[in-house]
Structure 1
Amino acid sequence: MNVMHSPTTPITGGGSQPDLSKLNSEDKESLVTFRKRKHPMPDQPCECSYEIKEIRGELTRMTSMLEKYVETNQNIINQMQESITEVKTQLTDLKTSNEKAINLIQDNLGEAKAQISEIKSTSISMQIEQNIIKTHVTQLESKITFGKNKLSKLETQVCQKSMLTPSVSSTSQSYINEEMIRELKERNERDKNIIIVGLPEHITSNIAERLSKDEFAVMNVTSAVAIDIPKPTRVFRIGKFIPGKTRRVKICFDAAGPAKQLLRITSTSEITTNNMTYQTCDNYSNLTISKSRLTFFYLNARSIRKLGKFDELKCIIQSISTTIHVILLTETWIANESQAQEFQLPNYTHYYNFRTDKRGGGVSDFVHNNLKHNISESIYLDGNNYLWISLEKYALEVGVIYHPGDTNYKKFVEVYDGQLQQRKRSIVFGDFNIDLLTKENQSKQYKELLNEAGYRLLNKINKKYSTRDSTTRKSILDHVCSNLKNNDFHMAIINSPMTDHKQIYFEMKKFKPAPKIRKKFDAIDYSKLYTSIETAKLDPMNSDYTIFENTIKHHITKCKVTKNKILNLPQDEWIHNEIISEINKRNQLWTELKKQPDNEALKIDFKEKRDYTAKLIQTTKNTFYYKEFIKCTKKPKKMWKIINNLANNKNIEHELASRGHLAATETVVAILENKRPKLYRMTNRFDPRANPSNWIIQVPTSLQSCRIVYTTEYHRRSSGALKSFQVKQPAATTMKTHK
């Protein structure tokens, strides 16, 4: 059936069919539909599907990356927490060490207070004793006056008797006077003599030979006690010669002074017998040379820069038939570093100290490279040159000093005395411009300074052994002194026209170093431990962890061995003598600056020295530890020792049995991990190098709540590529199982 619709009129717009070509704005919105249109070709994919897949892929990758990032952050946080705990433990250790140090200081303060109280009590007792002595002195004076009165009474009585019997009294009086004169003469003669007991007597039938040997031994003893003692007029033994019996020796002098001086010194100090021999010559081949001695050659050069003088020195060294270990020069007249570098001897190291303000002066040391040596101190101060070299093998410091006569003597004495007091074993050469042959106040003060510092002059105080001869006088201006005791020395004074000063050849007995100390300690034979654990019958299916732990302990104790270790001397740290010397120089400038605060040049010098010293300390420390780390490239034990020193950690003794630490190599750890009960493994096969993060394993609390912690750093300090683990009770019961 057809349905006819009335047409629409274009004018009115009526009718049943709307005109879609002409729509209002309201009609447009009402006619919009949201129905999904079908794809004209459903079998073919849409163009945007590839982009959607790519977006989805990117999203999955980003999510995976974010997950990995979260995991890595979590691992880093865990590591940071572990390091924080380690730092906390180290801080607690530091606190405990500081507390111990404070307690020690308090104890020392208590001891110091006790010593002060003892000193006070002794001073009080000394005052009481002095008062007692004063009372005794007054009593003695009263007794002396009483004796004088009695003598006067006796004299009056004798006079009265002489009046009665004149003939008898005259003869008796003359006899008494003769006896008194004889007694006084004998007393004066006895004051000039001393007796030595215990001096070895040589067994020989020749009387002259015995006397000469006795005189030589007596001279050694007297020179050891006091250097300026003259030669005795007579030396002889008391009593009859009997082989095997030592007689006393009587020594006679011209005057009573030497005998009193010897008795005074020996009553207050110990005698150190030093065998000292002397020689004068003008030919180097005539030098008395002994084997196994430390040799020195000293020369006042009077400008080594003068043409031909250094070549002559080379010839002198070559002409001496033994190796000269140390060559010492004064008055080198070197003015700067470049000039000093010009003077080098083959197989010697040149140390020098020169003037910086005027011409002349300067000292040098040429040390043979067969000796281990380094510079100890080098100072130029107030016109004086001081240079000290340390010989490590002999535990000896060798000094060379130049003191011109026109500088301040008091300042020189202060500095020189401080240097002598600092050194335990030393020998000093130098031109001091102090004549030991004179009895001037300066010479006496100089000798007293050496005696108070524990040094003695080794020069022979005799014009025959003078070190400088002029047309008018002989003098000893070049000195050798030492604080060594019980040593053998030989000194030769060599006449030469090279300079106006004579040369000195000096020998010293070698110093034997102390023997090395050996210590026994327990260690583990890791190869034996490896084979022992490899053959151990452990059932991985057995979940009893105590069996596994006891088996490990049994094999550790079974493979222990005893070893010997040489305790080496402590190694040199980065703080050395150069730094100390620079600090001392800075302090000296500081004291001078306090005295002269308005001196601008001194301020600049002090600031430069202060900055240089600070920089020197920092750079020396950095270079020292850098070199030490380079040395320990494949030595983890030494590297961990350096790290502990830097971190101020305690040195841990690796006594495995006492502390429960079980040490093994990587292979042993791998075997143990593979033989551990499978219930607590993280992987089927254990590789210690593959995944170190899996080395922390916690065991359930039902099996004794043990926690075995494998560490990669604790026992690396005790062996090369060592891994270790420790059995200990956990702080809280934690359970973590790995399938």
Structure 2
Amino acid sequence: MSIPRSPPGGGIYAGRSESYPNLSESHKETVPPVTQRNRRKSPDNKKATKSNIAEIKEQMSEMMELLKSSKIEQAESINKLSLDVAAIKAEVGNISSTMQNIILENKKLKDQLSKLSAAAENTEKKVEVLEADVNNLKNMPPASSTQLATTQDEIFTEIHERNLRAKNIIVVGIPEPQNDTAKSRQDYDKAEILRITGLIYNGCPQPTGIFRLGKYKSQKSRAIKVCFSSEDTAKNILRSRNKVDRENIKIFSDQTPYQRKHLQNLKEVLQHRTSNGESGLSIKYIKGIPKIVSSKEMQETSTMETPKN
């Protein structure tokens, strides 16, 4: 059950209006209307913004300068590296060239050592020949001092002449040119000798002298003496003289009169022994000295000279 209430203004609130107040109307009167206005920036804020922008631009300019200077430094560094690389390449090229020169020098030294070794071997052979001559002299009957001195002089003369002739070869079988002038005949002989030595020895050095032995006779072909500056050249030609394509051409060593006489005596002895019934005999040069040997002795000599593996 609801309790009755008295309207306002009644009772203790006497003198007030008996009706309820209009709250909406009273609110309108008491609250003033609000006006919306745009806020305007203060001048101080604009200056600060401009200052910040200017500072940012200045910082960006400094950064751009730093980037430019860094780019320049990098370019200089790259150029310096390129120069260093080029210098290193040049140095490597110099080292390679130096190594090539060293290799060539070593090859030359090896060739010189080989020549020295061959020369030493030739000297040993000559010493053996001299020892054989000395032994022959020892076995000879005693002679007067005059005869002994003459024999010694002959020995030294023979040794000297053999050393000189060791650089020469004798070519037999080249027809004598039928020309009127000596110059044309010499040119023909030179051309034939160069052709023959070129066939036998590839890269053969030029001879120091080419001349016919004896007086010129149109009906007779004289032997040709060919001189070289080295014994090795003459030896190489004599070792390969069988390569001559024409059978009527023969090549011999340049012998002294004593050597020719000794060889002729051996041929006569060989013919005499063969006519007496001995077989298998021949003349063979052993250490530069011609000797009569049998086929058995030749086999033994070949076995001794064959190098072992």
The structure with more radius of gyration = 2
TM-score, normalized by the shorter chain, greater than 0.5: no
The TM-score, its normalising length taken from structure 2, stands at 0.33
Q: Which has the higher contact order (CA 8 A, sep 6+)?
A: 2
Larger relative strand fraction: 1
Larger relative helix fraction: 2
The TM-score, its normalising length taken from structure 1, stands at 0.15
